Structure 1
């Protein structure tokens, strides 16, 4: 498995967020954002852990290179309080298992909070790579659903669920 770790999102990660804002990386999540939107997102990421609602992380390789992002945040889904997970990996680092490593690490952080039973991920039905990450990380596919992302835009997504109270099973 790939070697990487996660670190809380930092003020210095703005360049990474700009790189992740490419048409290729954002094709399943509504397309690239404006620079103003990226700056606002970066500010939210930097201060997100302070809210107690979740945390955004940078995916860091052993040599210190920043390869992507992963995070979890509180949301209500079907009348339950859950965590939603999301991630992105720069094109040069895809296909190496980094997203799975990052998701498993973020799940460990969310699991340690002991305040939600389930975590969910909602990758587009047309995104085989992100759906594979869910499978490898131990999520259970509940089926397709309509999902609003970005705000105001509906997409067809797979609803993946993971029981945070069960022992980790991802690989």
Structure 2
């Protein structure tokens, strides 16, 4: 999905997914705060952030998006999907971040629902996984509300040298909701 995608949620507030662009580095920097990365091992260095931005602008497989409010166009966060080898199979993985001033409004759930549709439209893989830390109540709630199924727990090294215990949530993209 190269264009813009919208998703309306409960309460009527809609989000729009806009493909990540060169000028979106500011958002990545905002989402790199200690609070926003507490469940991911902390903020990344500027060099790692610039490398991540490059991958977001020119993805090898998958797509990153800036999440905006459909009415007004304010940027509220990011969401995306990318390829991962998981348990011997190629699959999509997803992740998201919402700026602090927009949290608690259900926008991450709407973004997760919209990115599910984007991954479904991309084809290639049957499943979309999310791996929030087991202690990250908000991201686990997003998975549940966005229709993911909890499969269990797994350990991930992210960033390199830092192990995280995560929940493995999955959506079957071959099944329509």
Answer yes or no: same fold by TM over 0.5. Answer: yes
- What's the CA shift for 1:45? 0.7
Aligned to 2:82, the other structure's residue is in SS state strand
Runs of 5+ unmatched residues, structure 1:
none
Taking the TM superposition and a 5 Å limit, the aligned residue runs for 1:88-167 are 88-167=97-176
Could you list the per-position Cα deviations for residues 14-51 of structure 1 after superposition, in whole angstroms to 9, with x for gaps in the alignment?
11111111001010111011122212211111111xx2
- What's the CA shift for 1:151? 2.6
- What's the CA shift for 1:119? 0.8
Runs of 5+ unmatched residues, structure 2:
1-9
Determine the C-alpha separation between the residues in 2 that align with 1:101 and 1:151. Answer: 30
Determine the C-alpha separation between the residues in 2 that align with 1:156 and 1:30. Answer: 11
Q: Does 1:45 align with 2:56?
A: yes
- What's the CA shift for 1:147? 1.6
Determine the C-alpha separation between the residues in 2 that align with 1:64 and 1:11. Answer: 18
Q: How many residues are paired up?
A: 165
Determine the C-alpha separation between the residues in 2 that align with 1:145 and 1:23. Answer: 23
Aligned to 1:29: 40
Aligned to 2:65: 57
Aligned to 1:16: 27
Determine the C-alpha separation between the residues in 1 that align with 2:114 and 2:159. Answer: 25
